[in-house]
Amino acid sequence: MTVPLHHEHLAHEHAHGPACGHEAVTHNDHLDYVHEGHLHREHAGHWDECEPGEHIAHSGHAHEHGNGCGHPAVAHGDHVDYVHEGHRHAAHGGHWDDH
């Protein structure tokens, strides 16, 4: 399991929720909300950036993500993550990373 850095998103005045207009993505034991090219999660009464703390390759991932693969695509910074099995995968250097 990827442990996100505890990096608080300061001055986050928007309240995420079921009707906020941002895509909600199940990520391990919480929900991330896609907002302005990054992902936020609620933590202890504030919003954190939900990013992995290091480069973690997802080994043994034979499935190729792309249009029509059946997994939700989420724009994330300068790339696309695919939601799969409770985490996000991103193409990187010929393999898939856990996000």
Q: pLDDT tens digits for the chain (99 residues)?
A: 444 445 666 666 777 888 888 888 877 788 888 777 677 888 788 778 776 656 677 777 777 888 888 888 887 778 888 877 767 788 888 888 876
- Is-contact 97 89, C-beta < 8 A? yes
Domain residue ranges of the chain, discontinuous segments joined by +: 7-98
83: which strand partners?
88
Query: Which amino acid type is present at position 13?
Result: E
Q: Where are the alpha helices (DSSP H) in 1-99?
A: none
Long-range pairs, 68-73, Cβ under 8 A, ≥24: 72/23, 72/25
- pTM value surpassing 0.75: no
